[in-house]
Amino acid sequence: MPAYLANYLDPSMLGAVVLGAFAIAWLQSGSLGRALAAIVPLFRARPDLDRQAARATMLKVDQLAQLRGLQTTDRVGATQPFVAEAVAKLANCDRVEQFEDWASATLADRAERHERARNFWFAVADAAPAIGMAGTIIGLIRMFSAMDDPATIGPAMAMAMLTTLYGVILANLIAAPIAGRLADLSVRELAWQRECADRMIAVARRESAGMRRSTFREVGSA
């Protein structure tokens, strides 16, 4: 590593700032595992492509429901887990209200999980500068308490400056962008999933109404 870069790297101070910020965020949200797990879809998620695929799947579901009824819609293959589960629920629900309840609960739970992961990273972004400032204050105290020893002034001043730098970097270049990206992905993902659920509800209501009309005609003709 170049010497000038080595001056900006102190693993112990960096670890202290990161651990301190993460500890505060964990105490506030309690979602460390969920927040770390959200990093993977942060780079892999493609909500626009998922929306297009979901719409194509829903077109097939709609067509199959008209031809052969709701009970056969689970034959439609879906690449997204949410759509696949929704199609299976749609085919096996006795009443439209059952599917509506499932869709509402599932989307609400998903929104809550997204919010908790997002809030963790927002909490890290809020806490990191404060942890860095605490390190700065400690470094200044060490420096002023040992002014008679010039050899200790440099390390103490380095600690004071580096912890602030690490806090700013963690907050503004890592945690805040992650939180913002997760918020954007959550809005876009939940939007297409709600669209998909609403479309399935509309199909289920249409088919249920058609079945009722058919039943009335049979009863009337009898």
**Torsion sign (Cα): 91, 96, 102, 108:** positive
* Tokens standing for residue 66: 């008209």
Q: Could you tell me the residue ranges of all domains in the chain?
A: 14-26+33-38+50-211
pLDDT in the model for residue 122: 94
Question: Could you tell me which residue, 187 or 220, shows the higher pLDDT?
Answer: 187
Q: Which band of pLDDT confidence, cut at 50, 70 and 90, is reported for residue 188?
A: very high
* Tokens standing for residue 208: 């249920």
Model confidence, pTM? 0.81
Give yes or no for residue 72 having a pLDDT over 90.
Answer: no
The residue among 16, 213, 28, 56 whose CA lies nearest residue 121 is: 28
- In terms of average pLDDT, the best of 32-36, 78-82, 156-160, 181-185 is 181-185
Q: Residue 85 contacts by C-beta under 8 Å, 6 or more apart in sequence?
A: 106
Give yes or no for residue 157 having a pLDDT over 80.
Answer: no
Q: What is the largest CA-CA distance in the chain?
A: 108
Give yes or no for residue 67 having a pLDDT over 90.
Answer: no
What does each C-alpha distance from 139 to 12, 23, 134 come to in angstroms? Answer: 14, 21, 9
pLDDT, tens digit (0-9, with 9 covering 90-100), for 39-50: 888 888 888 899
DSSP tag of 95: S
d(CA 142, CA 164): 16
Question: Could you tell me which residue, 13 or 142, shows the higher pLDDT?
Answer: 13
**Torsion sign (Cα): 106, 109, 113, 115:** positive
Residue 39 burial by Cβ neighbours in a 10 Å radius (0-12, 13-18, 19+): middle
pLDDT in the model for residue 173: 94
Query: Helix or strand or coil: residue 30?
Result: coil
Give yes or no for residue 1 having a pLDDT over 60.
Answer: no
Contact 167, 133 (CB under 8 A): yes
* Tokens standing for residue 18: 């990161």
d(CA 41, CA 39): 6
* Tokens standing for residue 30: 């309690």
Query: Helix or strand or coil: residue 100?
Result: helix
pLDDT, tens digit (0-9, with 9 covering 90-100), for 73-87: 788 888 888 889 988
To 5 degrees, how large is the angle CA 167–CA 171–CA 177?
155
pLDDT, tens digit (0-9, with 9 covering 90-100), for 120-153: 999 999 999 999 888 888 877 777 776 666 666 6
| 69 Rama class: left (phi>0) / alpha (psi -120 to 50) / beta | left
Give me the chain's average pLDDT, please. Answer: 83
pLDDT in the model for residue 38: 87
Q: Which band of pLDDT confidence, cut at 50, 70 and 90, is reported for residue 217?
A: very low
d(CA 160, CA 8): 12
